[in-house]
Chains A and B, each alone.
Chain A
């Protein structure tokens, strides 16, 4: 244990922790939204994130985003966000249609839906990891090599943004990437929060989460609300995917797994079913991981995250902002 690193690098650890936390938080929103209306942990949500990241990588490759400079970078970044969010939302919608709705219509017990979720997660992840195979079956080994070749290895994000140090907080120079990630995350969170709390459809989501039968009596179409939560959660995961690419620079067919588990942890930490809880949980987890890493060493990063979860749940079984489920504000 060495606390000197924690104290000497405190501003840096906090800001980079918040940036990672923002990514966890955006993914956590998807878990918590779907849990709110379906009481289901959508374990395949990690794959929704991963597909969004690949969508951003491929669209920018196709458009030649690697050569961008100056203002062009901003344009390509916007395209990356739009394509990742769209594809993630569509994958989430497909997942609901194929893996969950048929079970729901047959009134399956929750455990069955959970198994379906885990199965869908593996299927989606492996489909990405074996994406060269269909081309081989049809004798097209050389087609789209840049996109589907070496499917088990990481695909780099084509957009290269030079790190610019803008200003300093303490002894840490805040970079443009930190600001883009944090800024975009905060914009997304505000938009979603306002949508759920102010708009008519958002109120429909909250109504279904709080009392599905009463919501039906008000004329809320539950199936439509469920689809909407998958789309919203998917879009947030897509945005998180681009931020991840900005921070990490590459994505792999199995990149979703650990990130998904962390985001799920963040959702539970904050109180699952509660949107603001998911945000709080994400930020706390990101920062705590960084502090823990500084004190115990990098290989302890994940241990710190999950130990934190266990300790908090010991004292607050419903999470930081979670109330008893019946009263949870979705």
Chain B
């Protein structure tokens, strides 16, 4: 297993954000966590990347216990995240943002980084055109591409994507999901958090449904997409 999350609980002050959440991500998979606003998806993501302290439970990455490892050490292991709301460095140019993605790499001076940059530009030609533009002046969709591209610059084993479709036009959403599938085909394991359940289930090998801080269902993407209860609650009855 690449990532094993076991019985994870996280609090915000006295409020329990997630309770006893367990899930796994195997190498090569696309796994998605879906759920409504406030279900605990982003909290789960931030806890995996170390931005939120764990109350109980364990997180293991490639068998190593990383539950209490500081966030800034996790990219070195191969965990990269494109955060909710993109989190681009708005005062930096596109190329500086992408360089930040490779900040923690041990091989940051090797040609491998150059190759990864070419790979990112291949996936997002738009970023290549705008390489000297300041990120804060770009559209939401472009910033989303930048956030994903920046995470890829870490050459991660596990790519965490938090709501990549949020606030994007429908045509762009389709494009972003196609790229996520392409990234996975190129060999990167993806953990995807989404409100757009229809697209997420279509692309995922396996899926978990979060509701008010707990995992209530799990299965393959197809199983859940065809489940009547899931359809009614998350897909508006129309896939």
Q: Which residues of A contact B (CB under 8 A)?
A: 200, 203-204, 206-207, 210-211, 213-222, 326-330
Bound: A94/B75 CA distance, A = 30
Bound: A214/B76 CA distance, A = 15
Query: Does B51 count as interface, using CB distance less than 8 angstroms?
Result: yes
- Is the beta-carbon distance between A213 and B90 smaller than 8 angstroms? no
Q: Of all chain B residues, which has the CB nearest A217?
A: B81
- Is the beta-carbon distance between A220 and B103 smaller than 8 angstroms? yes
* Given known A-B contacts A203-B96, A207-B100, A216 and B71 have beta carbons under 8 A apart: yes
- Is the beta-carbon distance between B91 and A214 smaller than 8 angstroms? no
- Is the beta-carbon distance between A220 and B83 smaller than 8 angstroms? no
Q: Of all chain B residues, which has the CB nearest A200?
A: B103
Q: Which chain B residues border A217 with CB–CB below 8 Å?
A: 49, 51, 71, 75, 80-81, 83, 87, 151
- Is the beta-carbon distance between A218 and B50 smaller than 8 angstroms? no
Q: Of all chain B residues, which has the CB nearest A219?
A: B104
Shortest CB distance B157–A (Å): 14
* Given known A-B contacts A203-B99, A203-B103, A213-B51, A218 and B91 have beta carbons under 8 A apart: no
| Contact pattern, B 164-193, Cβ under 8 Å of A = 1, otherwise 0 | 000000000000000000000000000000
Chain B CB within 10 A, most for which of A218, A222, A326, A329? A218
Query: Does B101 count as interface, using CB distance less than 8 angstroms?
Result: yes
| Contact pattern, B 72-102, Cβ under 8 Å of A = 1, otherwise 0 | 1111100011010001111110001001110
Bound: A218/B50 CA distance, A = 12
Q: Of all chain B residues, which has the CB nearest A328?
A: B91
Complex partner residue of A327 from B49, B90, B100, B104, CB under 8 angstroms: B90
- Is the beta-carbon distance between A214 and B49 smaller than 8 angstroms? no
Query: Does B136 count as interface, using CB distance less than 8 angstroms?
Result: yes
- Is the beta-carbon distance between B72 and A329 smaller than 8 angstroms? no
- Is the beta-carbon distance between A210 and B101 smaller than 8 angstroms? no
Q: Of all chain B residues, which has the CB nearest A197?
A: B96
Shortest CB distance B77–A (Å): 10
Q: Which chain B residues border A200 with CB–CB below 8 Å?
A: 103
- Is the beta-carbon distance between A219 and B91 smaller than 8 angstroms? no
- Is the beta-carbon distance between A214 and B89 smaller than 8 angstroms? yes
Bound: A176/B189 CA distance, A = 64
- Is the beta-carbon distance between A218 and B92 smaller than 8 angstroms? no
Tally chain B residues at the interface, Cβ within 8 Å: 30
Q: Which chain B residues border A330 with CB–CB below 8 Å?
A: 91
Bound: A193/B80 CA distance, A = 29
- Is the beta-carbon distance between B83 and A204 smaller than 8 angstroms? no
* Given known A-B contacts A203-B96, A218-B75, A219-B72, A210 and B91 have beta carbons under 8 A apart: yes
Q: Which chain B residues border A207 with CB–CB below 8 Å?
A: 89, 92, 100, 103
* Given known A-B contacts A203-B96, A213-B83, A218 and B101 have beta carbons under 8 A apart: yes
Bound: A210/B136 CA distance, A = 11
Task: Give me the 3 closest cross-chain CB pairs, A-B, nearest first.
Answer: A219-B104, A214-B87, A329-B91
10 more A-B contacts (CB under 8 A) besides A211-B87, A216-B70, A220-B100? Answer: A203-B99, A203-B103, A213-B51, A213-B87, A214-B87, A217-B81, A218-B100, A219-B74, A219-B75, A220-B72
Q: Which chain A residues border B92 with CB–CB below 8 Å?
A: 203, 206-207, 210
Complex partner residue of A219 from B76, B87, B89, B136, CB under 8 angstroms: B76
Chain B CB within 10 A, most for which of A213, A214, A222, A327? A214
Bound: A131/B92 CA distance, A = 47
- Is the beta-carbon distance between B83 and A218 smaller than 8 angstroms? no
Complex partner residue of A211 from B73, B89, B151, B154, CB under 8 angstroms: B89
Q: Which chain A residues border B70 with CB–CB below 8 Å?
A: 216, 221
Shortest CB distance A193–B (Å): 14
Q: Of all chain A residues, which has the CB nearest B147?
A: A214
- Is the beta-carbon distance between A327 and B136 smaller than 8 angstroms? yes
Shortest CB distance B79–A (Å): 9
* Cβ < 8 Å to A, chain B residues 76-134: 76, 80-81, 83, 87-92, 96, 99-101, 103-104
- Is the beta-carbon distance between A218 and B51 smaller than 8 angstroms? no
- Is the beta-carbon distance between B100 and A203 smaller than 8 angstroms? yes
Bound: A215/B96 CA distance, A = 13
16 examples of A-B residue contacts, CB within 8 angstroms: A203-B99, A203-B103, A204-B103, A207-B89, A207-B100, A210-B90, A210-B91, A211-B88, A213-B46, A216-B70, A217-B71, A217-B81, A219-B74, A219-B75, A220-B103, A328-B91
- Is the beta-carbon distance between A218 and B103 smaller than 8 angstroms? yes
Q: Of all chain B residues, which has the CB nearest A201?
A: B103
Q: Of all chain A residues, which has the CB nearest B76?
A: A219
Bound: A203/B102 CA distance, A = 12
Q: Of all chain B residues, which has the CB nearest A274?
A: B91
Shortest CB distance A87–B (Å): 30
Chain B CB within 10 A, most for which of A204, A220, A328, A330? A220
Shortest CB distance A179–B (Å): 34
- Is the beta-carbon distance between A327 and B71 smaller than 8 angstroms? no
Bound: A207/B73 CA distance, A = 16
Q: Of all chain A residues, which has the CB nearest B136?
A: A327
Complex partner residue of A216 from B50, B90, B96, CB under 8 angstroms: B50
